[in-house]
Amino acid sequence: SELSGVVEYRNVTFAYPGAESPVLSNISFTARPGQTIAIIGSTGAGKTSLLSLLPRLYDAAEGEVLLDGVPVNNLDHAEITKRVALVPQRPYLFSGTIEHNLRFGKTDATDQELWEALRVAQGESFVREKSKALESRISQGGTNVSGGQRQRLCIARALVTKPRVYLFDDSFSALDVATDARLRAALKDTTADATVIIVAQRVSTITEADQILVLDNGRIVDRGTHEELLETSPTYQEIVES
Ligand code: M5T
Ligand code: MG
């Protein structure tokens, strides 16, 4: 239906194959269309691992990850990627044109759709400034674009697929504060009906989230809005002050 995109983690515990101890323990939360859920926590807390379970990069051994009420373990990757786009922490660009990179998830996207995605991702002007625009070549791994340009192209690539659920893993960290703010304002409009889960390092990126999950050592130690957590969460206060 129109309002698909409900994500639910139910008592999820996860250990990497071969590892002795879990990196995630008893994770439960729900993210609904129209909401932004933020995940914050120190390096190694398990943020990337948590996101990776929804597109089934790994499967949780205990508990369930549900997409629109269906355990993702019962869905194949094609069914999941129709609804879920993950912008990974180290986003990858292929050797080929910008156009080729942007169409990766939706090969029949129109040029207009590509430009619209670039506009939202704050990538329009640097692509226009290139003499070949969308036909400009990206070298293997994207070494001929800056880190911030790479992030914006990978965000645009996700936008092109018009998913119901966006997973942003630290996707704004290479952007300066002004670009980060412009991008999030544009994203807010475009993703208004979608479910958005954002992993962030900078608190300023997530102060407006509907709910912030504070992850520490694989557990959700606190949750609430920015204002609530400032009052109640010593762990959050530490992150804010760091
Ligand atoms: C959480 C371990 C990692 C850490 C813990 C991705 C990955 C992680 N780990 C593995 O053993 N194998 C893997 O493939 O899991 O790591 P994370 O989820 O990457 O933490 P984070 O995203 O909160 O950290 P950061 O640095 O991105 O802020 O013990 O060794
Ligand atoms: Mg990470």
Domains of the chain: 7-91+163-241 (3.40.50.300)
pLDDT in tens, 94-125: 899 999 999 988 889 999 999 999 999 999 99
Nearest-CA neighbor of 111 among 159, 160, 165, 62? 160
Show the ligand 1 pocket: residues with CB < 6 angstroms: 16, 19, 23, 41, 43-49, 89
Structure tokens, 108 = 């029949």
Interface confidence: ipTM more than 0.95: yes
HSE-up (13 A, CA, CB side) for residue 145: 30
Separation of CA 170 and ligand 2 centre (Å): 7
pTM of this prediction? 0.95
How far is the C-alpha of 208 from the C-alpha of 226, rounded, in Å? Answer: 7
* Contact yes or no for 192/223 (Cβ under 8 A): no
The residue to mutate among 47, 50, 58, 89, having the most atoms of ligand 1 within 8 angstroms of its beta carbon, is: 47
pLDDT in tens, 184-230: 999 999 999 999 999 998 888 899 999 999 999 999 999 999 999 99
How far is the C-alpha of 239 from the C-alpha of 75, rounded, in Å? Answer: 36
Burial class (CB in 10 A: 0-12, 13-18, 19+), 185: exposed
